[in-house]
């Protein structure tokens, strides 16, 4: 498996694991803040692991852009999760 494929697997795992965890916690506990912060922590751990792995492989511009891509993905995942949790909370209160 190529390094680029592993790179995308880290990003995909961060999205899937943190999303499923956040949505399950929101359904079970109905606490938006708790679900968000737990998913934030899980996403941060997976993203940091990916960054450390990528940092050990490359130097220079390729390392810089790879790590930058991880943190852009991290921010996008958290924004998507926040709005998904917000919509879930609004729908529960409106019913």
User: For position 95, what pLDDT does the model report?
Assistant: 61
CA distances from 90 to 52, 84, 93 (A): 38, 10, 5
Report the mean per-residue pLDDT for the chain. Answer: 94
pTM of the model: 0.90
User: For position 1, what pLDDT does the model report?
Assistant: 87
Give which of 79, 91, 67 is closest to 19, Cα–Cα.
Answer: 79
Q: Would residue 59 be called left, alpha or beta, if left means φ above 0 and alpha means ψ between -120 and 50 degrees?
A: beta
Round to whole Å and give the CA distance between 66 and 91: 38
CA distances from 73 to 31, 91, 94 (A): 25, 27, 32
User: For position 93, what pLDDT does the model report?
Assistant: 73
Question: pLDDT under 50 in the chain at which residues?
Answer: none
């Amino acid at each position: 498996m190529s390094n680029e494929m592993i790179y995308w697997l880290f990003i995909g795992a961060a999205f899937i694991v943190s999303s499923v965890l956040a949505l399950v916690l929101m359904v079970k506990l109905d606490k938006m803040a708790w679900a968000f912060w737990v998913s934030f922590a899980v996403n941060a751990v997976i993203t940091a692991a990916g960054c450390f792995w990528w940092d050990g492989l490359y130097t220079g511009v390729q390392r810089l852009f790879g790590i930058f891509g991880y943190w852009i993905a991290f921010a996008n995942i958290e924004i998507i999760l926040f709005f998904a949790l917000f919509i879930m909370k609004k729908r529960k209160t409106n019913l």
